[in-house]
């Protein structure tokens, strides 16, 4: 029997219902903040990621689905969506005047990762990007939107973990400090860290290796090495979050895996997650648009993993909210015709209803209703047709009652 490719799964049933609920909530909340949707292709040229995510990142180094297409182009199945959104915004000249550009995306991403729980090779992200504004206020706006999104989904124990990674200008001072620190205990760090120290020393701070984490004890602190403007920016963002009542902690080791962040980097942790890694992350990336060949436009954004979010919500809230359909069961041919007419008027009135079209015995229909978790079954037989009524069976209690046909729409709409 054919199976789905390792790390790629089919979405359906309860899990997909959470995906849909999350996506609907995202569109509602982001739309309220003035963000518009953008959809970029899954395939991008290799260069888009090399020049943005960075050649020192694990994503570009180890995890990309990369191949040469029939026309000899080096292409990649996008491992993340920010680079594609930036590429598109430049290509379509969305950033040429001074207006802020607020965009969000929802879609699949691909990374050839080692398999572990909650990690997939095709996974889904929702992200929001705000272009054209460099202020801490724009970050607070974006984080507030994120906070509303997660709160409206029903997550309660959220903590924003923040740090500032400074600017490319202020970073050499920190690089020097971390290199000096590293040199004193180089033998305690893993091979990857030795490589990172050369390519992107900040990344040593977020090595997942426990020994490296221990060796980092007493490491130089990024926020002690900020230029004055970055320090002011960081202080202002913290003041805004405090004023807005958004709980946050400062994490001096938070640098995020991608090379393009400047100033604010953040993650959101949920204690509903237990020991698992962060629910999402993001930050400011002021240099990226220019780096990819566009104008010098600042930007701030984040991406959340839908797969993990759906898993957490399933754990915290159980089944995704849904409009439970009723089932309409006609008995006999005349009733089957009338049932189609009744169902049509109910559907047109917006009522969720499944129609039994197999014919046959009521017992079979009731057994299916049970398996499908349907609560209300409407039965239309000759007797009901004569009296202009419908028999209604409530599956949970087994009770049965009679509704006049004229009241069915209103009663179902309220159930």
Q: Does 339 bind ligand AMP (CB under 6 A)?
A: no
DSSP string, 188-240: GS-HHHHHHHHH-GGGGGG---HHHHHHTTTPPPGGGS--HHHHHHHHHHHHH
Q: Does 195 bind ligand AMP (CB under 6 A)?
A: no
Q: Which of 280, 328, 378, 412 binds ligand AMP (CB under 6 A)?
A: 280
Q: Which CB atom, from 189 or from 261, has the smaller least distance to ligand AMP? A: 261
Q: Which of 30, 120, 174, 261 binds ligand AMP (CB under 6 A)?
A: 120
Q: How far is the CB of 407 from ligand AMP (least distance, A)?
A: 48
Q: Does 78 bind ligand AMP (CB under 6 A)?
A: no
Q: Which of 395, 393, 390 minimizes the C-alpha distance to 409?
A: 390
Neighbouring CB atoms inside 10 A of 291's CB total 17
Q: Which of residues 233-272 bind ligand AMP (CB under 6 A)?
A: 257
Q: In the bound complex, which residue of the shown chain has the CB atom lying closest to ligand AMP?
A: 305
Side by side, the strands of the sheet bearing 326-330 are 353-355, 326-330, 376-380, 389-394, 400-404
Q: Does 84 bind ligand AMP (CB under 6 A)?
A: no
CB–CB of 305/26 below 8 Å?
no
**Stretch binding ligand AMP (CB under 6 A), from 120-128, 209-217, 345-353, 378-386:** 120-128
Beta bridge partners of 329: 379
Q: Which of 21, 111, 171, 203 binds ligand AMP (CB under 6 A)?
A: 111
Q: Which of 303, 320, 339, 365 binds ligand AMP (CB under 6 A)?
A: 303
Q: Which of 125, 164, 262, 264 binds ligand AMP (CB under 6 A)?
A: 125
Tell me the two tokens of residue 257: 């895996």
Q: CB within 8 A of 277, min separation 6: which ones?
A: none
Q: Which of 119, 195, 236, 238 binds ligand AMP (CB under 6 A)?
A: 119
Distances (CA, A) of 351 to 319, 335, 354: 21, 20, 10
For β-strands 353-355 and 326-330, DSSP reports them as parallel
How many residues bind ligand AMP, per CB under 6 A?
16
15: enclosing H helix or E strand: helix 13-32
Q: Which CB atom, from 114 or from 358, has the smaller least distance to ligand AMP? A: 114
Q: Does 332 bind ligand AMP (CB under 6 A)?
A: no
| In the block, residue with structure tokens 């590429």 | 87
Q: Does 390 bind ligand AMP (CB under 6 A)?
A: no
Q: Is 142 helix (H, G, I), strand (E, B) or coil?
A: helix
**Stretch binding ligand AMP (CB under 6 A), from 92-100, 189-197, 225-233, 277-285:** 277-285
Tell me the two tokens of residue 133: 């504004």
CB–CB of 292/52 below 8 Å?
yes
Q: Which CB atom, from 304 or from 351, has the smaller least distance to ligand AMP? A: 304
Q: Does 281 bind ligand AMP (CB under 6 A)?
A: yes
Q: Which of 107, 22, 21, 110 minimizes the C-alpha distance to 59?
A: 110
Q: How far is the CB of 82 from ligand AMP (least distance, A)?
A: 8
Q: Which CB atom, from 113 or from 206, has the smaller least distance to ligand AMP? A: 113
- Which positions touch ligand AMP (CB under 6 A)? 80, 111, 113, 119-120, 123, 125, 257, 278-281, 303, 305, 307-308
């Amino acid at each position: 029997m054919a199976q789905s490719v390792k790390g790629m799964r089919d979405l359906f049933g309860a899990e997909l219902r959470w995906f849909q609920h999350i996506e609907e909530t995202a569109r509602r909340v982001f739309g309220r903040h003035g963000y518009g949707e953008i959809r970029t292709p899954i395939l991008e040229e290799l260069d888009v990621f090399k020049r943005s995510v960075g050649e020192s990142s694990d994503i570009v180094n180890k995890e990309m689905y990369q191949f040469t297409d029939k026309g000899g182009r080096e292409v990649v199945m996008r491992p993340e969506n920010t680079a594609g959104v930036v590429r598109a915004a430049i290509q379509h000249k969305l950033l040429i005047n001074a207006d802020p550009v607020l965009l969000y995306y929802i879609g699949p991403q691909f990374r050839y990762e080692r398999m572990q729980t909650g990690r997939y090779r095709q996974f889904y992200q929702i992200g929001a990007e705000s272009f054209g504004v460099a202020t801490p206020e724009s970050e607070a706006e974006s984080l507030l939107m994120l906070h509303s999104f997660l709160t409206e989904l029903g997550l309660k124990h959220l903590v924003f973990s923040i740090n500032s990674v400074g600017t490319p200008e202020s970073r050499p001072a920190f690089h020097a400090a971390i290199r000096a620190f590293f040199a004193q205990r180089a033998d305690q760090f893993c091979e990857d860290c030795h490589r990172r120290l050369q390519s992107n020393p900040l990344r040593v701070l977020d090595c997942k290796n426990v020994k490296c984490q221990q060796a980092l004890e007493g490491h130089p602190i990024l926020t002690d090495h900020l230029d004055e403007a970055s320090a002011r920016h960081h202080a202002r963002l913290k003041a805004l979050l405090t004023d807005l009542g958004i709980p946050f902690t400062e994490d001096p080791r938070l640098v995020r895996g991608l090379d393009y962040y400047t100033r604010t980097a953040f993650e959101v942790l949920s204690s509903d997650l237990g020991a698992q890694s962060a629910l999402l992350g993001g930050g400011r990336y002021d240099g990226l648009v220019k780096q990819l060949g566009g104008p010098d436009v600042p930007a701030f954004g984040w991406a959340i993993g839908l797969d993990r979010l759906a898993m957490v919500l399933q754990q915290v809230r159980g089944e995704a909210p849904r409009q439970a359909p009723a089932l309409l069961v006609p008995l006999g041919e005349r009733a089957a015709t009338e049932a189609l007419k009744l169902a049509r008027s109910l559907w047109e009135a917006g009522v969720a209803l499944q129609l039994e079209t197999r014919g046959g015995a009521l017992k079979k229909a009731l057994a299916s209703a049970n398996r499908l978790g349907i609560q209300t079954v409407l039965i239309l037989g000759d007797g009901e047709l004569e009296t202009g009524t419908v028999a209604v069976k409530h599956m949970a209690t087994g009770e049965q009652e009679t509704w006049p046909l004229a009241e069915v729409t209103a009663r179902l709409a309220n159930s």
